Amino acid sequence: MPEMNGLIKLSKKHIKPASHVLSRAFQNDPVIRWQISDVNKRLSNLHYFWEFVLQIGIKYGEVYGTSEDLEGIAVWRPPKKVNLSYWKYVKNGAIKLPFKFGIKATKRITFFQAVNDSIRNIYMKVPYWYLGPIGVDPKYQGKGFAGMLLRPMLRRIDKENLPIWLETNLERNISFYQHFDFYILEEIIIPKTNIVNWFMIRESET
């Protein structure tokens, strides 16, 4: 594996602690608040959602942490593993979501993902990497950990001569990603919500 500048590749043993890091990082995220509107369920059960995301990421992609302390975490999906079948999601934990968050929240999670998938599939007709999520524990935010997570993979993917796709619903994130040569392809308001989502791509620099 290419040199990853001190990052650690996460495995199944990291899923539970990493899920709590992402829960803290995304506790007030507008999408999460809309998807899981029940505050009590969001506070107590959000880590189950991230366990599912991490399970998928580790099994079908690559997940990295900044160190064993997991200050920050990035989930990457490689070409051919971006769009997975419904059954792969079910087998890897999606079946638990209605029991943890209720039917309404699960439908919203599924709907939001379907919208993102449809936009991505319109634009991306060539092999590409998918970045998402990337999160830093709030107590470590603003200290450079997000950049630390990005740089090694950007160098590696440049050598593969492949683009990278991501989505963000926070306007403040746009300039951060633009610093790493991502640019906006599409900006939409997610149907049935007031949430703006920005779809961004980074072309290979080679």
DSSP assignment of 3-21 equals: --TT-EE--GGGHHHHHHH
- pLDDT value at position 205? 67
Question: What are the pLDDT digits (tens) for 111-122?
Answer: 999 999 999 999
Q: CA 175 to CA 178: how far, in whole Å? A: 5
Maximal C-alpha separation, the chain:
48
Phi, psi of 201 (to 5 degrees): -135, 150
pLDDT of 154-196, one tens digit each? 999 999 999 999 999 999 999 999 999 999 999 999 998 999 9
> pLDDT confidence of 1, banded at 50, 70, 90?
very low
Look at the domain 8-162 and name its fold: Aminopeptidase (3.40.630)
> What is the C-alpha to C-alpha distance for residues 25 and 173, in angstroms, rounded to an integer?
14
Q: Which range (2-16, 19-33, 86-100, 166-180) has the least confidence?
A: 2-16
This prediction has a pTM of 0.94
pLDDT tier at 6, thresholds 50, 70, 90: confident
Spell out the domain ranges in the chain: 8-162
CA dihedral 32, 103, 187, 183 (to 10 degrees): 60
